[in-house]
Structure 1
């Protein structure tokens, strides 16, 4: 099942489908999808950041195959951290990725709003929630001052806490949304309500199923009624540039997810 150019949105998946580096993955996927989520890491222990030569290769592959890239900013950035020096470090890390990917054709930058490693935002007091959103406001202000990328290209992703907590920050800066439907289902948020409220602002959707208490599995493990809700919403309000990302990490999950999507392909 080839899902490239089959839907009223850009169909995509992650840059880790086969057990190889980013370039082989893009070469494997380029004729199967419209968009590839580049999952980039940079730490003292490990980095998968492409070299300048690799970046040129990614740009060439995109041009030859009508690809775009959604760039997932590093997971170890904490834009809502109470310590401003940590926020500055996090913003600096994001800006380095933005500069690195400057010449790629991009659909979006995906970002997480978190307060620190292992911090449970659901446990915050009212005062802690206020400080968290003030910290996010400060970080986003720094980020946008540090780049010419339009605010709308940055997409805040819903995580394990109610998205309405950070919505005022998204709205204030004119950011977009990454609507992670897999997270909605996994954490028990009302998918239909989130679609109604946030889909108009969503440049990206993340799609994945839950298996044995873990998310980021094949779409075959997402409740069919949830997938039907999403597909109806996307069909009723088509946006060709919107990205539908299978946020999964194996060829088996990719192949089975594509088979699930087959029933939504319109016949001629």
Structure 2
């Protein structure tokens, strides 16, 4: 059974479900989901950035199958870093991905607010928190000035630190939110309270379960009460443009997650 076009939101998953490149994954998923999260990265060692021909094919597949793409901006973009050069480099990475995906039908750009590799923001002093949020403001000014996209298309994702730390920045720049429920459950934040406070600004939800101390597993491993709570909110406040991304990375997790979701179909 397909869950495509069966919910009051856009049902989606990641571009890495079968062990293949992006195009075969989109071809595999095109009649199963409404939205596909493109996880793109580029480094000295490896790049998965699609070619111009691939981008044309992604646009064609979207048109043929009523798909949209949520574009996850690079994970190694440290927009809150205290170093100007690091922030400029990070913004440059994001701008390259935005330009690369310009012709695609997009539901959102997902971005992380981080300071640096392995940096635990939970341990920041008050002055470090001010530097972090000040860096985010500088990066966002550069990003928005350089991309020509509405601020509301960018969805800041909650990570392992309290979202309240960056909420003033989100409000100041009129950004949207990626509400990662898998992160809320994994790190022990109150899912209900976050839904009440942030769902109205959430263009994207990330859903995944925890198994053996690791997240990004099948929804079969998400607490049923947490999933029930999310679904009750989504049915109570329907938004046909909102994206529900099962942020998982295997065919078995995809199949078992879809089986879990079938119980919410009328």
Partner deviation per Cα, 1:8-28 (whole Å, 9 max, x = no partner): 000000000000000000000
- What is the deviation of 1:262? 0.5
| Aligned residue in 2 for 1:147 | 147
| Aligned residue in 1 for 2:137 | 137
Please say if 1:237 is aligned against 2:230.
no
Please say if 1:63 is aligned against 2:63.
yes
Partner deviation per Cα, 1:75-111 (whole Å, 9 max, x = no partner): 0010000001100000001000000000000000000
- What is the deviation of 1:206? 0.1
Partner deviation per Cα, 1:208-261 (whole Å, 9 max, x = no partner): 000000000000000000000000000000000000000000000000000000
| Aligned residue in 2 for 1:228 | 228
| Aligned residue in 1 for 2:49 | 49
Which aligned runs of 4 or more in structure 1 are off by greater than 2 angstroms? none
SS at match of 2:147: coil
- What is the deviation of 1:131? 0.6
CA distance in 1, matches of 2:247, 2:23: 18
CA distance in 2, matches of 1:127, 1:196: 30
In the TM superposition, 1:30-49 aligns within 5 A as: 30-49=30-49
Partner deviation per Cα, 1:166-201 (whole Å, 9 max, x = no partner): 001100000000000000000000000000000000
CA distance in 1, matches of 2:219, 2:2: 15
CA distance in 1, matches of 2:111, 2:261: 26
TM-score by length of 2: 1.00
CA distance in 2, matches of 1:74, 1:6: 31
| Aligned residue in 1 for 2:13 | 13
| Aligned residue in 2 for 1:251 | 251
CA distance in 1, matches of 2:234, 2:111: 22
- What is the deviation of 1:147? 1.1
In the TM superposition, 1:107-126 aligns within 5 A as: 107-126=107-126
CA distance in 2, matches of 1:192, 1:123: 25
CA distance in 1, matches of 2:229, 2:100: 37
CA RMSD of aligned residues (A): 0.3
CA distance in 1, matches of 2:225, 2:105: 33
Consecutive unaligned residues of structure 2, counting only runs of 5 or more, are none
Number of positions where the alignment pairs a residue of Structure 1 with one of Structure 2: 266
CA distance in 2, matches of 1:127, 1:148: 32
| Aligned residue in 2 for 1:105 | 105
CA distance in 1, matches of 2:235, 2:84: 43
CA distance in 1, matches of 2:123, 2:13: 32
| Aligned residue in 1 for 2:206 | 206
